[in-house]
Amino acid sequence: MKTVLRRLTTPHKIQSYIDDMAYNTEEITRSAAGALVAGKVQCLDGALLAAAALEYHGHAPRLMDLRANERDADHVLAVYTYKGHYGAIAKSNYVGIRFREPVYRTLRELAISYFNNYVSPERERTLREYSQLINLAKFRKVDWRSAPVDEDIYEPLADRLEGARHFRLFPKAIEKVLKPSDERLVQAEMVGLDPAGLYKA
């Protein structure tokens, strides 16, 4: 594991490495080391791998939970900072909800940058909330760094993400005036998508 992490010296290199991994469509969330052995990740174990790489190079291993409405799946980011600005690393089946350059002054700015691209196949923009940062350096309920490849660590992590304080991106009343996204945007978001990984409400 250290051999790989040693090479991933920047957020760009981490994102490129995760992008090159297959999308994990199994019903399992693996540790960072387990994901490397399996050679595939989805958003949560991809974020864990990114967090481990960031931690190896001196960054805090922090996650942010993006919460969708009841008709879509949540998403998890590994968040980093550069000169006081936030950026993010992420694995997704969709094109536009992955990497973010460190140009965002607040966590809300970072989260809202995902809103337009956070679309369902039915053209609905589904992103609603974002969480406070979750520092995995203080998380002891499961070995998120090096649990074996066959160990599913989803439940304790999901509980931690769900239990984090979340903030609405906009008042609920605004949902009534949201227009469906352009069909071209949905098609663009789904370029290279693995159908087996589509969320089923």
Q: Calculate the alpha carbon distances from 117 to 66, 183, 189 in Å.
A: 13, 12, 7
pLDDT in tens, 19-45: 999 999 999 999 999 999 999 999 999
Q: Is the pLDDT of residue 201 over 80?
A: no
3 state SS of 24: coil
| Predicted TM-score (pTM) of this structure | 0.96
